[in-house]
Amino acid sequence: MRCFLSLVLALASFLLLVAVAYSGLPRSFLPLERAFPPGHRVELEALRARDRARHARILKGVVGGVVDFSVEGTSDPYSIGYGLYFTKVKLGSPPREFKVQIDTGSDILWVACDACSDCPRSSDLGIELNFFDRASSSTAMLVSCSDQMCASALQSTGTECSPQINQCSYTFQYGDGSGTSGYYVSDLMHFDVMLGQSMPANTSANVVFGCSTSQSGELTKTDKAVDGIFGFGPGGLSVISQLSSRGVTPRVFSHCLKGEGNGGGILVLGEILEPNIVYSPLVPSQPHYNLNLQSIAVNEQLLPIDSAVFATFKNQGTIVDSGTTLAYFVQEAYDPIINAITTAVSHSANPIISKGYQCYLVSSSIGDIFPPVSLNFAGGASMVLKPEQYLIRYGFVDGSAMWCIGFQKAQDGVTILGDVVLKDKIFVYDLAHQRIGWTNYDCSLSVNVSLTTSKDEYINARKRGASSSQMDTLKNLLPVSIGILIAYILVFMESL
């Protein structure tokens, strides 16, 4: 019996060593989908109107009860209704699935509650709406006034506490008159994590999120209805901040948004690794992801733009925001960009103004005609945009293809980089090191995801095989472990 127990212990030690070799901080991943079907044509004015409605809120910051939720809406009949990219999250026990837009411009995850009397009950966007039912989840708990999360919320958002019922609640009002109110809930979020196994593992963690009991304005319209918003901002109430503070995930997240076809992509609660990623430091102490844009070049020629127009202070700066569709530049930068592009294509394309927007009639490939546009950031990091990354095709005119520039003139001092420049790139939001990185990438391909804080250890998000450094660890451990195991087996056999 003693030999048999020794054999079992040896086998357990062997398996433990293998597990250690494969271990690492969990990386969670979520598939992304595009909100509109293939071939759905959206007018440029509808996209800009949608972004305008958003910017009326995002630029107000997070003081005085105003939160920059990505509540998308426009009266234009061609509007897509809400953000281009959304994902699915599972909440509660048993888990229920909710479709939520990913938004790097806001902090809070919120979904509609079943008790909401003003929430839309159907959506014209081809999705079935779900409502969170706290009574049906065995793990749901109200967030009390004494909860630390409630105390954090009281400092930065439109949160209030009701002492009579000891409940942490919120009321968010927006500049366009729309708003939402509800209360905070703590419950399980379910997701897949990658630990180096051949298959992802299912896990869950408690998160605090908003349960909306009342909505008004644009939020109530069925042509814009979704289950909620998944905020990935840098604030303490964001899911990424909650999970990383407890060591569930690293303090970094990444996304790769596919621009062509059906769209889609991947969102990783962890770090995507690619050798060509360049990083630029975040501007500190900002409620959004602000970068220090220093200069812009067209066809490798620097434009005559005073860098001071990009400096970050009140109502000025450069923001990375996945909740915005187009890209917006201050006038001091927008005019030189348009003039330089128009000059570069003057012999090969016919510039026209269509519905107030700068467009071009082209009879050949845009890649052979239009110049690259380089956005140069602090730290020597450049974002080089190919023509297909800043042009949007809008049908034909007199037999020629019409392409319009996806850059718009900002109505104030804030430059906003939206999906038109974020798509077809890996973006890494490294909150631990206060920086953002990016590189061009085909987001229909697999990505390499870090398993540890080391840059050298990663796995393929689809193949999920061991990295070279992990294999080296295994090579060192396996001979010793196998030798111990064989020795115990021989002793066990002799005792029979």
Residues belonging to the active site? 103, 321
Burial of 303 (0-12, 13-18, 19+ CB in 10 A): middle
Q: State the Cα–Cα distance between residues 38 and 260, nearest whole angstrom.
A: 9
CA–CA gap between residue 275 and residue 278 (Å, rounded): 9
Task: In whole angstroms, give the CA distance from residue 97 to residue 109.
Answer: 14
- Tokens 């439109």: give the residue: 158
Q: Which tokens is 490 given?
A: 């021989």
